[in-house]
Structure 1
Amino acid sequence: MQGPYWLDDIDAARRTLVEIDPALARAHALTPAFAWRRRVGGFEGLFHMIVDQQVSLASAAAIWARVEAGLGGEVTPERVLATPIESLRGFGLSIQKATYGHEIARAQVDGRIDFDHLERLSDGEAITKLVAIKGVGKWTAETFLMFCEGRRDVFPGGDIALQEAMRWTDGATLRPTEKQAYARAEIWRPHRSVAAHLLWGWYGAVKRGEIALETPLS
């Protein structure tokens, strides 16, 4: 596994993507330069992603701050397992997220996954290990590998925002299905993570009204 991109690497990858797939030219032209959205990795990174899901950015930050404080500043599998579900709920977690925190921690402690050496596994192998943990779906596994592990060639085909940006890219009437999105992204290897970042950046800027599509949405 290669490390995360630097700004120059991202720019070069974007230009390469446009060369191999001119349909991305519009997204590339309209989307400003961006940095790699790297987060803390390992067990802490995956638990953090679970905590952040389905809440606002502000709420997620507040809850995570309480989690860190409640665990004594050490977000480790051992600390999480030593903290009862009800105590985790007291930090602001739902019972589901607290349970998933225990499941992820137990997977590490039991040896079903090794977050400290996940880089030894291929992308496919890592995704298989991750989704075997209760509470970790494919989208979570893929985005974890992108943002927390810095993997360069991962594409979350089930992401609705990416599917919509792909629709814009190809001038299609309908969003691609998850299966179609994965197939469409094959041409972007080995830079699928940058392609995802580019499409997310384009999608977000359009939705915020910062840039306009050259053609109206259907």
Structure 2
Amino acid sequence: MWQEIITIEGPYDFDRVIERHALDPLNVVDLQHRTIKIPIVINHSRYVVEVTGIGTVEKPAFKVSGRNEKHKADQLKRISEILQWQIPLKPIHQHFQKTDLSGIFQEHYGTPLVLDFDPFSCLMKCIIHQQLNMAFAHTLTERFVKTFGTNIDDVWFYPNAETLANVTVEELRELQFSTRKAEYIIGLGKAVIDGTLNIEILARQTDDEIYRQLIKLRGIGPWTVQNFLLFGLGRANLFPTTDIGIQNALKKLYNLDRKPTVDEMERYKQMWEPYLSYAALYLWRSIE
């Protein structure tokens, strides 16, 4: 058993982070005790790390603990990446105070761009969630993970590529996957196994390089790539103009009688660079 106390520069609203994670039935969150258990994979080994908020928005502090001391430094590093502790939010907040999004950034002060727990599981989730309402997307993902994933200390890990590649379309159809979506998700596993897709290399590539590689895979379109770049890798300057939520948030922000055009969105976003991902995140939060 190991434990560390971590402090970072504020603002950082940990309660907003875990409230968001609590919406997913697969996540283990205790809002009262400000705790989340995070499944992480390092060198193909699985670890559960518990993070508890013990500070404030202005002075964030966390108690981080795990049962397995092997790769402890790597576990801490990965937790920091997932929770984006290495990204100071103050200069980002100050940047947006000079823009049309100043009110939204005041309302959601200290909200970080938190990553999914694992890039490969992020891609799986993006494919599963395509063209589904959020409630059923969570239900379908929960069925999938609890059928083919691994449970450690009551925390669920998504299936690895080897497991996924050996799942059949019929097995996924029984969970209410469409045939096409079942083929897509199995194909993702096979792409990793046969070397077509290397998840670890993706993290070191540019956005354009990642786009060109992922778009070749069946079932992965621009929306999926953008979501992966945002929530799988935490790229800071992405703005998904085709996202309906973003369009609705801008319609509300500017009191439009219809959704904004692509040209209008391109014009709006110029003042938000180089933090377009944070503009997108806060716009989504503004209509939730």
Give the CA deviation at 1:88. Answer: 1.8
Q: Which amino acid aligns with 2:106?
A: A
- 8 Å CA contact 1:14, 1:194 repeated in 2: no
**DSSP 3-state at the match of 1:9:** coil
1:134 to 218, 226, 231: 218
Unpaired runs of at least 5, structure 1 = 205-218
User: After superposition, where does 1:1-218 map in structure 2 within 5 Å?
Assistant: 5-6=84-85, 9-19=88-98, 22-73=99-150, 75-178=159-262, 180-204=264-288
- 8 Å CA contact 2:83, 2:114 repeated in 1: no
- 8 Å CA contact 1:31, 1:198 repeated in 2: yes
Which moves more between the two structures, 118-127 or 58-67?
58-67
Q: Which amino acid aligns with 2:188?
A: I
Q: Which has the higher strand share?
A: 2
Give the CA deviation at 1:158. Answer: 0.7
Q: Deviations over 1:95-133 (max 9, x none)?
A: 121111022223323333211221111112212222221
Which moves more between the two structures, 69-78 or 191-200?
69-78
C-alpha distance in 2 between matches for 1:30 and 1:72: 38
Give the CA deviation at 1:35. Answer: 3.7
Query: RCO (CA 8 Å, sep 6+): is it higher in 1 or 2?
Result: 1
Instruction: Report what 2:28 is aligned to.
Output: none
Which moves more between the two structures, 94-103 or 110-119?
110-119
CA separation of 1:170/1:59 partners in 2, compared to 1, >3 Å: closer, same or farther? closer
C-alpha distance in 2 between matches for 1:7 and 1:198: 19
- 8 Å CA contact 2:96, 2:105 repeated in 1: no
**DSSP 3-state at the match of 1:23:** coil
Give the CA deviation at 1:69. Answer: 3.2
- 8 Å CA contact 1:77, 1:109 repeated in 2: yes
CA separation of 1:7/1:194 partners in 2, compared to 1, >3 Å: closer, same or farther? farther
Q: Deviations over 1:143-181 (max 9, x none)?
A: 121112222121111112212323444455543233542
Q: Which amino acid aligns with 1:128?
A: R
**DSSP 3-state at the match of 2:287:** helix
CA separation of 1:3/1:69 partners in 2, compared to 1, >3 Å: closer, same or farther? closer
Give the CA deviation at 1:56. Answer: 4.3
Unpaired runs of at least 5, structure 2 = 1-80, 151-157
- Cα RMSD of the aligned pairs, angstroms, is 2.7
C-alpha distance in 2 between matches for 1:175 and 1:56: 20
Q: Which has the higher helix share?
A: 1
- 8 Å CA contact 2:166, 2:186 repeated in 1: no
- 8 Å CA contact 1:45, 1:144 repeated in 2: yes
Q: TM (normalized to structure 1)?
A: 0.78
**DSSP 3-state at the match of 2:227:** helix
How many residues align? The count is: 201
Which moves more between the two structures, 50-59 or 193-202?
50-59
CA separation of 1:62/1:176 partners in 2, compared to 1, >3 Å: closer, same or farther? closer
- 8 Å CA contact 1:107, 1:113 repeated in 2: yes
C-alpha distance in 1 between matches for 2:94 and 2:113: 16
C-alpha distance in 1 between matches for 2:87 and 2:163: 39
Q: Identity percentage over the alignment?
A: 25
- 8 Å CA contact 2:165, 2:193 repeated in 1: no
